[in-house]
Amino acid sequence: MKHTWKITLFLISLFLITQIFGIFTVSRNIEVKKDVVTGVVTVKHQETIVGEPPKTESGYESVSIIIIAVIAGTLLLLLLIKLNISRLWKYWYLVAVIMTMAITFGVYIKLGSNIRILSTNLNQIIILSLAIILAWYKIYKRDILIHNITEVFIYTGIAVLFVRMFEGYLWAAFLILIIISFYDMFAVWMSKHMIKIAEYQTKNKIFAGLSIPYKPQPPTKTKGYFKETQTKKKGIRTAVLGGGDIAFPLIFSGSVMSDLIIKQGIEKSSAVALTSIISITTTFALLYLL
């Protein structure tokens, strides 16, 4: 096995929680309407704290945007690594964490008020305050529990924002999974730049994904002095699961859910339940890989 059973089960449990919670949150952020005359089903996505979720004109456009974003983000991060500007990476990551968590919190935090402007402003203040506090603990306090819990909210927010891009283009969401899979194989086995990025993030203690460090072994006492263990020489081993491995399956699941609602006419609650099957089978696939 790649990791101990305890850590493996912890990783896959968090993965499954993120997938199920993400699908449920995406469903909460949409309003389904059915025309009683024509029977046509339409889905309206609620506006998030960063604006309305983007909508594309074609599946090809959706695929292109995602691919360009992945390439641009990777090149920028490699440049930061080359120049050794860890502080800029930290600020970039901090903003991304705040925004994605705020999107998720915005789906649930909706305080009522007789005055709409006051209600909206109050909601935004609460949402951003909560996101900023958690992001600060995640990045600067480096609490491992906070880090992994916030990952659930981060990738859920990404799904809420991007699922709409694949609405009506389920084939495009599937194509993205295939492209990303081949990209991962190239990035890890051939160019190895993904390993370089993961090591850089781990070294700076700002990893975009699930991260669980092993407990360091105590030093061995030998003839009156403490001998360094292998752990102390090489550093603490850490079990990680990259953010892309979480986000892209979730976006695909959200796209399937939308397709079931719009094209198959299935009720939202039933669509969520059916889509959860994808999350469960994906979790078993991850368990097999680990």
- 220 touches 229 (CB < 8 A): yes
pLDDT in the model for residue 105: 95
Q: Could you report the per-residue pLDDT of 262-273, keeping only the tens digit for each?
A: 988 899 999 999
pLDDT in the model for residue 151: 94
| Two structure tokens written together for 242 | 């990259």
CB burial class (10 A; 0-12, 13-18, 19+) of residue 94?
A: middle
Euclidean distance between CA atoms 255 and 243, whole angstroms? 18
- 155 touches 22 (CB < 8 A): yes
Enumerate the H helices of the chain as residue ranges.
Answer: 5-28, 59-83, 86-108, 116-136, 144-162, 170-185, 193-203, 230-234, 243-262, 268-289
pTM score of the predicted model: 0.86
Q: What is the CA radius of gyration of the chain?
A: 21
pLDDT in the model for residue 240: 82
- The DSSP secondary-structure symbol of 47 reads P
Give SS3 for 58: coil
Euclidean distance between CA atoms 112 and 217, whole angstroms? 52
Percent of the chain surpassing pLDDT 70: 89
Q: Could you report the per-residue pLDDT of 58-103, keeping only the tens digit for each?
A: 999 999 999 999 999 899 888 988 888 878 888 889 999 999 999 9
What is the pLDDT of the chain when averaged over all its residues?
85
Residue 223 has pLDDT above 60, yes or no: no
